[in-house]
Amino acid sequence: MGGAVSAGEDNDELIDNLKEAQYIRTELVEQAFRAIDRADYYLEEFKDNAYKDLAWKHGNIHLSAPCIYSEVMEALDLQPGLSFLNLGSGTGYLSSMVGLILGPFGVNHGVELHSDVIEYAKQKLDFFIKTSDSFDKFEFCEPSFVTGNCLEISPDCTQYDRVYCGAGVQKEHEDYMKNLLKVGGILVMPLEEKLTKITRTGPSAWETKKILAVSFAPLIQPNHTDSGKSRLVHLPPVAVRSLQDLARLAIRGTIKKLIHQETSGKNGNGLKNPPRFKRRRVRRRRMETIVFLDKEVFASRISSPSDENNNGEELQEDRGEEEETKPSEFKVEPPVNFLREKVLSLPLPDPLKYYLLYYREK
């Protein structure tokens, strides 16, 4: 019993495995997964399991299996500038990956039932912004989280382009979830033991697609007050960026273009520190069984007879590729944060430099 893909030694290898198994299929989703290390969202004593394709739960803190998040990200069909609502936002891992794609003019909101998990998510978000070099490679749509039951969202809330629910939705709440969507929007949620994608094609028109068999813990029903009234959840307002913030975005964007031009001239391709990709034989496999473990789905894939017949030949080819590509001495240079170096080298007052770097210190 195990995950849909084999465990990785690090975040990059986990993503390699998800790509080979066709859970990650688009470049935007791949970039987002590589930019945020899954282990950063684990408690220190549990990080040994971070790169396994397994769910993790400790108290109220919960992460779904990587193959589930992959399918969700692909199904959402994210684009820059869209609005996103994460129901059951948890650690903020998924919301942060989504924010890398939405960009600075998107909307990124989350609703989480447990206040201690909200605090945990804010700590992880702050850690990512202050310490991760990946933050400077993207224009980030920072998520905002509110505490409450996602079944008690105020009826006057705005509608969203993309909505995800990370808990099992009962059939009686299906219409409630659909009404959170704009026309043209996409809703992804576990519905009747299936991860389901619903697209709103008109005011009263919908297209539904079942993606994957799953088993999620169900949504917790609202706990009404003594008066019988529910506690309405008010989502964050859609704020207009300040002129100062827009200027920071413009300056950072201009510096990135200059860096790209400089590195393109020196290296020909603009990449001094290209990401590490392992050469592997990709074998298409058909899903045969679904295994459930602790309210999460794990897809077990088995090879077809043709895979078995070709196994020896492919193994020999794999070894040949490894021997061919393995250098006698290979030294990996540490990644360079060119944007940070360029900003720090500018003849500007330190407070302005720190503002351009989002007050980051390392």
H-helix or E-strand spanning residue 290: strand 286-293
* Length in residues, the chain: 362
* Rounded Cα–Cα distance for residues 208 and 31 (Å): 27
Contact (Cβ atoms closer than 8 angstroms) between residue 219 and residue 173: yes
* Rounded Cα–Cα distance for residues 278 and 13 (Å): 8
Contact (Cβ atoms closer than 8 angstroms) between residue 162 and residue 140: no
* Rounded Cα–Cα distance for residues 143 and 147 (Å): 13
Q: Is 64 designated active site?
A: yes
User: Which two tokens mark 105?
Assistant: 């003019």
The Cβ-side half-sphere exposure at 7, using a 13 Å CA radius, reads 11
* Residue keyed to tokens 């034989």: 281
- Of 6, 64, 95, 303, the active-site residue reads 64
User: Which two tokens mark 248?
Assistant: 């920071």
Nearest Cα residue to 44 out of 31, 66, 61, 30: 61
Longest dimension (CA), the chain: 74
Q: Which residues are catalytic?
A: 64
